[in-house]
Amino acid sequence: MLTPTSIHRPKPYLLQIEWSDGYASTLLLETMRDQCPCAACQGEEIMGQKISFGIKMFKPGMNELTALTPVGNYGLQATWSDGHATGIYTWQGLRALCETHALTPQQLSDLASKE
Ligand SMILES: [Zn+2]
């Protein structure tokens, strides 16, 4: 199983994850919050139907990470500044998130130039 070997926050809005196979990626925390795997954020399947809980409203602090807490040996629980803490990112889910949403070197240098 692939697991992270190191997790850093190089900027307040970025998360950098290195994996046991050498793969490394940098994600926007905004993307991570947007992809929060909890039922309230992603909707729930009820009787085979995907039920959505409506439009996600922007809340102050929602994209600011307060803590990442290991859950057993299978994932991480993210706590956000707006108090949301029900999302558990499994290693598999986190890896998929990295592979889908990792920032390119170009995007990273664009972000850095805007600071
Ligand atoms: Zn959530």
| pTM, full prediction | 0.85
- From residue 50, how far is each of 39, 44, 54, 93, 109 by CA, in Å? 11, 6, 12, 19, 38
Q: What's the 36 CA to ligand 1 centre distance in angstroms?
A: 5
User: Which tens digits make up the pLDDT trace of 31-76?
Assistant: 999 999 998 888 766 667 665 655 566 788 999 999 999 999 999 9
Contact 33, 13 (CB under 8 A): no
Task: Give the confidence band of 96 by pLDDT, cuts at 50, 70, 90.
Answer: very high
- From residue 83, how far is each of 19, 42, 67, 76 by CA, in Å? 28, 17, 11, 16
Residues in the chain: 115
**Mean pLDDT in residue range 22-28:** 97
Q: What's the 113 CA to ligand 1 centre distance in angstroms?
A: 31
Q: What's the 40 CA to ligand 1 centre distance in angstroms?
A: 6
CATH code that applies to domain 4-113: 3.30.2020.30
Q: What percent of the chain clears pLDDT 90, i.e. is strictly above it?
A: 77
Task: Give residue 32's pLDDT.
Answer: 96
State the Cα–Cα distance between residues 92 and 41, nearest whole angstrom. Answer: 18
Domain borders along the chain are 4-113
